[in-house]
Structure 1
């Protein structure tokens, strides 16, 4: 089995060392390097193409939000998990809106961090639905024309994809979506990949934000 390559971008050497030790303790993970600034993180991703990067939000030279934006804009397949001290932080929401696949707090347990890496690498998001909706309600801004017909906002989607879109937007897991839509998990994942591609979104969390900002769902 191919190892999942994980990079760490943080300006605290002690934290980076701890993450490196944790990553290297796992047979299915490989440490792909580190950087101490957002700019360095962007360069690291371009050079090493890790599968997952743990990205601190607040760093010198360039913060993690801008670094995430540049990584996503580059078309990189690297998935970003942002690191934060506070869960209810506008910076976290901005990073998610930019394309991060979720966030973890720096005081998370090693087991949770490892689970988060695996979850994101598998194409899911690290953020409980309740926490997602809380961030969206606090910081998202509905469009002036929010409430426009569903067909306009997600016109590119097939009827089946629209059904899956709404299930994702409600925070359902792959298993729950498969059960609700009467399809296999593999089929639901295929639909979700197509939805993200057609709407120009990077993660399931962005589906939640998109739905709220376009008046498609209320949280």
Structure 2
């Protein structure tokens, strides 16, 4: 299946780099590029892509506002945000805006393709590097539940709690599989079950619950 994508960044060199990375995957088709948030929203409205990849900081309309608009005009389009170090506080706002994925611009280029594929499949993707930076930032938001989080986690099996603890550390499915000596498909099944049992919309919310329940070291 071809994944149709629109991406937006106000820096021409960054756009060229993103295009080159995406071109390495024959299943991803870039249907349009934008230089600002307003243009991104209009291109998504016109092309109805599977995924929109947005820089957080853009002129005219920033990525967060653009993400919120895209959720209104094309709710079927998944949104992946590109951030830089020092912009952790934006992630909570991006969650509220309906974003499905978060990546660091300086991260592993392979994460970009993984994120696009995951979001196109209807999943959420949080870069492990971003996860480690933002879990503490997000604790204390409406997604965190303190004692209630510990009560919710009581319904998980021992193996599911092990998977959740590693997910809370920002590990990808592949990293969790290697750590627990499991097949990656088994980890994916565990993650799906965890999200369902915890009534979490995505990995980010599950990770926050793990942090609040004490499964993740707060130091």
Question: TM-score category by the smaller chain?
Answer: 0.5 to 0.7
* Structure 1 residue 158 displacement after superposition: 4.8
Q: 1:151 to 1:75 in 2, by over 3 A?
A: farther
Task: State the TM-score, normalized to the length of structure 1.
Answer: 0.68
Map 1:78-89 onto structure 2 (within 5 A).
78-80=78-80, 82-84=81-83, 86-89=84-87
How many pairs align? 207
Instruction: Note the residue ranges of structure 1 that are not aligned, 5 or more in a row.
Output: none
Could you tell me how far apart the structure 2 residues matched to 1:208 and 1:47 are? 35
SS at 1:217 equivalent: coil
* Structure 1 residue 182 displacement after superposition: 6.4
Matched with 1:59 is 58
- Root mean square deviation, CA, Å: 3.8
Asked whether the 8 Å contact 2:149–2:210 carries over to 1, the reply is no
Corresponding residue to 1:140 among 122, 138, 141: 138
Q: 1:6 to 1:200 in 2, by over 3 A?
A: same
Residue 118 (1) aligns with residue 117 (2): no
* Structure 1 residue 140 displacement after superposition: 2.8
* Structure 1 residue 57 displacement after superposition: 0.9
Matched with 1:187 is 186
Q: 1:122 to 1:196 in 2, by over 3 A?
A: farther
Task: State the TM-score, normalized to the length of structure 2.
Answer: 0.68
Asked whether the 8 Å contact 2:9–2:36 carries over to 1, the reply is yes
Q: 1:27 to 1:122 in 2, by over 3 A?
A: closer
* Structure 1 residue 142 displacement after superposition: 2.4
Could you tell me how far apart the structure 1 residues matched to 2:50 and 2:67 are? 14
Could you tell me how far apart the structure 2 residues matched to 1:215 and 1:195 are? 16
Could you tell me how far apart the structure 1 residues matched to 2:175 and 2:20 are? 35
* Structure 1 residue 148 displacement after superposition: 0.1
Could you tell me how far apart the structure 2 residues matched to 1:20 and 1:119 are? 15
- Measured against aligned partners, the alpha-carbon deviations of 1:103-130 in whole angstroms (never above 9, x if no partner) come to 222xx48xx43x122221343745335x
- Measured against aligned partners, the alpha-carbon deviations of 1:70-99 in whole angstroms (never above 9, x if no partner) come to 54676535240x234x41224443355443
Could you tell me how far apart the structure 2 residues matched to 1:29 and 1:120 are? 12
Asked whether the 8 Å contact 1:92–1:103 carries over to 2, the reply is no
Matched with 1:101 is 101
* Structure 1 residue 18 displacement after superposition: 4.9
Could you tell me how far apart the structure 2 residues matched to 1:154 and 1:214 are? 8
Could you tell me how far apart the structure 1 residues matched to 2:51 and 2:184 are? 23
Could you tell me how far apart the structure 2 residues matched to 1:201 and 1:193 are? 10
* Structure 1 residue 101 displacement after superposition: 1.8
Instruction: Note the residue ranges of structure 2 that are not aligned, 5 or more in a row.
Output: 119-123
